[in-house]
Structure formats: structure tokens, C-alpha cells
């Protein structure tokens, strides 16, 4: 009897961690990996539309050069996509805005520089909602069903990783722009603790909220990038036994916004964890947390007035009306409302972290449900806004496929600056939660 061996997957289908191991061991070259990703992009991206800019020749040349060098760091030889509101010195940064189509920054954003200096190949710029805020939507479509959104504003980054076009990509979150697309595309995402990754060189929307994160296809992928960014104690925290973990499941004060698919994913995640011996307890947040969604929106809109004033003055009616509405304070946000929102956030941060004496992580919905139909509606950030304003790290984990055949994920959160502990916890919990093939693998 002869055993039929399965062919090895194309390198583009490897996770970043798998590819990094093979490169380190000499079983894969960066050039081979980059060429495989480019072939995948050429085959799929005319339909998915995840990328705004690619320099294929430069990416191959960079990979070939890296193959001649000793390792530069954790990301050596790995491709990464960059959301096109993050500056790149050798590629346009258009912010998906018609008034910045020929913009060429003089320097890389800090996060891009860290990736390059850690050995990454900057593969290209991914599509985004205009300025990662409002105005024009990305042309990107959900790779699982082209009639649906991939989420936003990190639209292209989420779709490119979900469609196996690239192993890693940067996203950002001001409301729910990073974790929600992770759910919609069936991938993993880390929104680190606010302020732990420099935002220098990324278009600002809200100083209090903007956070740079990254997508991957496994917890190990997220941890690999976290190590490049020197997040505190990453790699030093042992992965615990699942049965030793205490997880609080939290429907949040906004549960009335949950959809059937989101409710089902949350229940499935809880059932799987309980069956694996994880100690579950329900967490009902105190009443003031019910005001956090409104507080996040107040701060986002209020700080957005300053962020878009210069563009409104320079470009006039060439700039989308959404940004003029913010600058002109169409929502009518008062200084009193801003102060109240800041004060509520500060109080809730202290109260939330005091709760962690009793558990290791909080499990919560990552999105209301499956990705909405159409490109303009990128999804509701109601299950993300509170965590963004709390400044806590969040990890999106795929969970199941909904009735429309689209992925639905969940997220786990932990106190500020406990990113390493959260990654270790996720490494224990993700294999339990992510039992189904929610991560999208397209037909070759």
C-alpha cells in the first residue's frame, strides 16, 4: 500500500511564525515567500481589492538582499502590509483621500521603521477608509463573500491577511477599526495597550484613542510582531494550562446590539472553554460603563475637530463633507461634554483593573455578528469602543462561521500593559475557541 503524500502548501499559506521558523532554519528563502505572496495577490486581488500600492520588483529585491544577510530581528524576511494612513518613505501614502493621491512622506512612520529594522519586507499599502476616519470607504471586499464588507477602517489589511495574500499587516483602531475586521475576516488581531506602540507618522484622528495594531493568522504571529516592538515581557510569560485559567465572560452593557450570529459565537466560545475545564464566571460591569460608548464617540468627534482642521482649511470643498462636519462641530460637542467623557474614562479604567483580582482575562464579543452587506457600512463598533477608550489590550480570535457563511470572532481583553500575559493566555485559549475553519482559505 502506498501512502499518498499531501503537497506542501504554497508559502503564502504559511503563518508568519511558520515562515519565520523555516527561514531561520534555511528551509525557505524570503524571496520564495515574497514571490508566493505576489502570485497570490495577482490571482486574487483583482477581486478582493485589498491593496492601493505594490512595488513587486522592490519587494523581491529587498527579500533577495535579506537572504544574503544574518537575521536582522524577529521579522526577518517576512512580508507585511501597511495601512495606507501610515507613512512610508518609499511608497505613496494617500490616506485613501483624493487630495493626497501624490503624497510622498519623507520618512517612514515609527511602526514601519521598526518593522523594517527587524527584517520585514514592506510589501505594499493596503486600502482604508479615508484618513481611517470617515469620507470615502475602501474599495476592498470581504474575501469570503465579495458582496460583504471586510470591515473598516483597516479594510485592506484585514482582507489581505484573511485572503492569504500576506502573513502580517498593520491596522489601527480609534473605535473598532482593528478588532472588528479581524472578526469579519476570520483572522487574529492584537490591539496593544494604548501608547505602547508609537503613532508617529500615522494620520491622527484622536490622540486619546488612536492605537496601532497588527493582524496575523495565529497567536504566535501576533506575539512575533509584539516581540519586535519590545512590548513589556513578551516571550517571558509561560503559556498556562487552560484548566488553570479564570475567564470572565462579559456581554457588555451594549448587548442589545448583538445579532444572532454574534450571540451564537459568544455562546460557542463559552461552551468550548467550559468543556476544556476553563473556569468561567459572568462579569456584569458596573452602571457607569454603560456610558462608555457615548464617551468614546464624544472624544473621537471632539478631538477630530483639531485633527482635520488644517486639511479643511487647505482643501475646502475638495475635502469630503464628513471632515468639515467634524471641524465645524456639527455634533455640537461642548467642552463640558469632553471633560465629562475624559473623567468617566479615567474612573472606569481604575474600576475595570480592580476587577482583575478575580480572573485572568475577559471574553467579549468582537463584533455584532457577520460582516454587513455592501462596502459603505463597515460595521458597528459598539463592541469595541469601550475597550479602546479603556486603553486595554485586545486580541481578536476566530470562532465560527455564521449562517451567511462569513466568519464571526470573539475577543479577549486584559488590563493595561498586560499584553504579554494576554498573549500567553490567548495561546492557551485560541486552540479551544478556534476549532472551526473560520479563517478564510480561498479556492486556489
Give the count of domains, the chain.
Answer: 1
3-state secondary structure 294-325: HHHHHHHHHHHHHHCHHHHHHHHHHCCHHHHH
Mean pLDDT, to the nearest integer, of 332-349?
Answer: 98
Q: In whole angstroms, how far apart are CA 363 and each of 199, 249, 353, 433?
A: 27, 5, 15, 11
Adjacency order of strands within the sheet including 361-365: 51-54, 121-126, 79-83, 168-173, 211-216, 188-191, 394-401, 407-413, 361-365, 246-249, 279-282
In a domain, 293, yes or no: no
Residues 6+ apart with CB under 8 A from 388: 173, 174, 175, 176, 191, 194, 209, 211, 296
**For residue range 13-46, what is the model confidence (pLDDT) as tens digits?**
999 999 999 999 999 999 999 999 999 999 999 9
- Which of the four pLDDT bands, split at 50, 70 and 90, describes residue 253? very high
Residue 389: CB atoms within 10 Å: 28
Residue 2 has pLDDT above 60, yes or no: no
Helix or strand (DSSP H, E) at 387: helix 385-390
Q: Phi and psi at residue 294, in whole multiples of 5°? A: -65, -40
Whole-number mean pLDDT of the chain? 96
- Which of the four pLDDT bands, split at 50, 70 and 90, describes residue 8? low
Instruction: Give the pLDDT of residue 7.
Output: 53
Range scoring the smallest mean pLDDT among 4-8, 60-64, 416-420: 4-8
249 beta partners: 282, 363
Residues with active-site annotation: 83, 153, 177
**For residue range 299-308, what is the model confidence (pLDDT) as tens digits?**
999 999 999 9
Domain assignment of residue 407, given as a range: 16-287+344-433
In a domain, 272, yes or no: yes
- Which of the four pLDDT bands, split at 50, 70 and 90, describes residue 9? confident
Do 292 and 389 meet the contact criterion of CB atoms below 8 Å apart? yes
**For residue range 78-107, what is the model confidence (pLDDT) as tens digits?**
999 999 999 999 999 999 999 999 999 999
Per the document, the length of the chain is: 444
Peptide bond preceding 153 in cis form (omega within 30 of 0)? yes
In a domain, 311, yes or no: no
Do 169 and 215 meet the contact criterion of CB atoms below 8 Å apart? yes
To which residue does cell 470573539 refer? Answer: 410
What's the CA gap between 12 and 101, in Å, rounded?
30
- Which of the four pLDDT bands, split at 50, 70 and 90, describes residue 207? very high
Helix (H, G, I), strand (E, B) or coil at 209: coil
What's the CA gap between 185 and 442, in Å, rounded?
12
In a domain, 312, yes or no: no
Mean pLDDT, to the nearest integer, of 368-394?
Answer: 97
In a domain, 295, yes or no: no
What's the CA gap between 148 and 86, in Å, rounded?
25
In a domain, 187, yes or no: yes
Residue 440 has pLDDT above 80, yes or no: no
In a domain, 5, yes or no: no
Residues 6+ apart with CB under 8 A from 185: 142, 143, 144, 150, 151, 158, 159, 161, 162, 163, 407, 440
Mean pLDDT, to the nearest integer, of 348-374?
Answer: 96
In a domain, 184, yes or no: yes
Mean pLDDT, to the nearest integer, of 346-375?
Answer: 96
**pTM, entire model:** 0.96
Instruction: Give the pLDDT of residue 357.
Output: 86
Residues 6+ apart with CB under 8 A from 374: 147, 148, 149
Do 190 and 226 meet the contact criterion of CB atoms below 8 Å apart? yes
**For residue range 220-240, what is the model confidence (pLDDT) as tens digits?**
999 999 999 999 999 999 999
What's the CA gap between 357 and 306, in Å, rounded?
39
Instruction: Give the pLDDT of residue 337.
Output: 98
Helix or strand (DSSP H, E) at 248: strand 246-249
Q: What percent of the chain has pLDDT over 90?
A: 95
What's the CA gap between 141 and 151, in Å, rounded?
9
What's the CA gap between 420 and 401, in Å, rounded?
29
**For residue range 125-167, what is the model confidence (pLDDT) as tens digits?**
999 999 999 999 999 999 999 999 999 999 999 999 999 999 9
Which of left, alpha, beta for 364 (phi over 0: left; psi -120 to 50: alpha)? Answer: beta
Q: Which CATH number fits the domain that encloses residue 59?
A: 3.90.1300.10
Mean pLDDT, to the nearest integer, of 164-191?
Answer: 98
Mean pLDDT, to the nearest integer, of 382-398?
Answer: 98
Amino acid at each position: 500500500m502506498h501512502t499518498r503524500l499531501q503537497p506542501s502548501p504554497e508559502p503564502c499559506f504559511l503563518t508568519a511564525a511558520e515562515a519565520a521558523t523555516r527561514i531561520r532554519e534555511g528551509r525557505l528563502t524570503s524571496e520564495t515567500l515574497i514571490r508566493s505572496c505576489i502570485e497570490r495577490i495577482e490571482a486574487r486581488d483583482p477581486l478582493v481589492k485589498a491593496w492601493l500600492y505594490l512595488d513587486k520588483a522592490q519587494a523581491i529585491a529587498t527579500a533577495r538582499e535579506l537572504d544574503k544577510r544574518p537575521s536582522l530581528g524577529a521579522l526577518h524576511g517576512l512580508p507585511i502590509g501597511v495601512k495606507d494612513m501610515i507613512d512610508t518613505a518609499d511608497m505613496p501614502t494617500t490616506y485613501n483621500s483624493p487630495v493626497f493621491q501624490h503624497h510622498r512622506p519623507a520618512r517612514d512612520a515609527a511602526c514601519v521603521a521598526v518593522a523594517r529594522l527587524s527584517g520585514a519586507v514592506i510589501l505594499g499599502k493596503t486600502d482604508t477608509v479615508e484618513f481611517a476616519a470617515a469620507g470615502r470607504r475602501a474599495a476592498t471586499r470581504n474575501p469570503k463573500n465579495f458582496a460583504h464588507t471586510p470591515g473598516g477602517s483597516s479594510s485592506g489589511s484585514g482582507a489581505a491577511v484573511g485572503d492569504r495574500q500576506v502573513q502580517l499587516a498593520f491596522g489601527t483602531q480609534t473605535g473598532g477599526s482593528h478588532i472588528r475586521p479581524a472578526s469579519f475576516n476570520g483572522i487574529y488581531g492584537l490591539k496593544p495597550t494604548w501608547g505602547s506602540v508609537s503613532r508617529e507618522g500615522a494620520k491622527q484622528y484622536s490622540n486619546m484613542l488612536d492605537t496601532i495594531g497588527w493582524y496575523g493568522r495565529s497567536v504566535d504571529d501576533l506575539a512575533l510582531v509584539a516581540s519586535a516592538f519590545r512590548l513589556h515581557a513578551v516571550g517571558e510569560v509561560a503559556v498556562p494550562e487552560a484548566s488553570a485559567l479564570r475567564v470572565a465572560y462579559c456581554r457588555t452593557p451594549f448587548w442589545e446590539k448583538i445579532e444572532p450570529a454574534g450571540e451564537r459565537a459568544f455562546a460557542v466560545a463559552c461552551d468550548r472553554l467550559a468543556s476544556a475545564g476553563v473556569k468561567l464566571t459572568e462579569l456584569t460591569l458596573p452602571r457607569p460603563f454603560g456610558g462608555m460608548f457615548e464617551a468614546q464617540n464624544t472624544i473621537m468627534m471632539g478631538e477630530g475637530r483639531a485633527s482635520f482642521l488644517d486639511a479643511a482649511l487647505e482643501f475646502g470643498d475638495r475635502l469630503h463633507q464628513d471632515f468639515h462636519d467634524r471641524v465645524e462641530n456639527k455634533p455640537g460637542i461642548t467642552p463640558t461634554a469632553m471633560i465629562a467623557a475624559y473623567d468617566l474614562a479615567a474612573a472606569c479604567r481604575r474600576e475595570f483593573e480592580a476587577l482583575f483580582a478575580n480572573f485572568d482575562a475577559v471574553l467579549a464579543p468582537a463584533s455584532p455578528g457577520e460582516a454587513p452587506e455592501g462596502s459603505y457600512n463597515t460595521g458597528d463598533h459598539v463592541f469595541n469602543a469601550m475597550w479602546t477608550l479603556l486603553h486595554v489590550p485586545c486580541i481578536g480570535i476566530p470562532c465560527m462561521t455564521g449562517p451567511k457563511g462569513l466568519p464571526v470572532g470573539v475577543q479577549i481583553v486584559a488590563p493595561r500593559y498586560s499584553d504579554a500575559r494576554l498573549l500567553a493566555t490567548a495561546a492557551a485559549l485560541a486552540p479551544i475557541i478556534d476549532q472551526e475553519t473560520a479563517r478564510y482559505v480561498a479556492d486556489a
